Amino acid sequence: MIIPALHRQVVPMDRDAHRGWRVKPLGDWRIAAQLNSAFIAAGEMIDACREYPIVFVNAGKDEAGAPQLAPVAVFGLSAQENLFLDGPRWRADYMPAVLRLYPFVIGRLDAENFAVCIDSAWDGFSKTEGQPLFDAQGEMGDIAKRAVEQLQGYEAEVQRTKLVCERFAALGLLREMRFDLNSGDGKTFAVEGFLAVDEEKLRALPDEAVLELNRSGLLSLLHAHMISMRNIQRLAQWKFERMAAAPAQAAND
């Protein structure tokens, strides 16, 4: 899943073009400075809900033209804003899989085929430091082999998550939401353009539907989503702190 705000120059990983390339450890997360949200797979929601707001967004249409939805972990409350960054440090213990996999990513070649790609613009590639992508014979190194295995598992999770969202939509559980946030000193702003669970509709589901959601594990995902919404207030606090610090920073500059 290629994210333009993160993956800047995506190319297929190639044993000839990238032989001699090495991958250094990723310790500076400012590569994600303009990433205000990222796809979160269904299997991640229980862990992610402790730290990120998780909402649902429109994700285009499938091959049949039906609308698709996707869950995302929210990092910022404005476009190109990432409040989880503190300098190069990430302000959360749990890192979404799409970021853990960086600089590797699955790229779609056509409707049927995919390729393992890298973000060749990342400055963590080196000719002298880190783990090799390929050995002298052109065989994948350990880090590339792990990335391929992890990406395959992640792609399966992406497909499962699509089915989860289809089920939520079919039950009519999601609706458009808006949050109006207030800093307490007169600063206000609205967060909109996302969908969340309509708790009244969830409570109104017939018993057999609730039982089916519970037995399939989907009910726990709904609860994780609802719990995660409390994290919006923490993001608002971080945003207001950043807004308050901006004039002082500008004066120092």
Q: H or E stretch including 190?
A: strand 188-197
Helices (H), the chain: 45-48, 97-100, 142-170, 199-203, 207-216, 218-228, 231-252
pTM (whole model) above 0.75: yes
Q: Is 179 left (phi over 0), alpha (psi -120 to 50) or beta?
A: beta
Q: Is the pLDDT of residue 184 over 70?
A: no
CB 10 within 8 A of CB 117: yes
CB 167 within 8 A of CB 202: no
pLDDT in tens, 204-252: 999 999 999 999 999 999 999 999 999 998 998 899 888 887 665 555 5
Token pair for residue 16?
Answer: 């000839």
What DSSP string describes 106-128?
A: EEESSSS-EEEEEETT-TTEESS
pLDDT in tens, 74-120: 999 988 999 999 999 999 999 999 999 999 999 877 667 788 999 99
Task: Locate the domains of the chain by residue range.
Answer: 10-252
Q: How far is CA 34 from the centre of its chain?
A: 13
The residue type of 130 is G
What DSSP character marks residue 74?
Answer: E
Which residue from 203, 251, 248 is spatially nearest to 223, judged by alpha carbons? 203
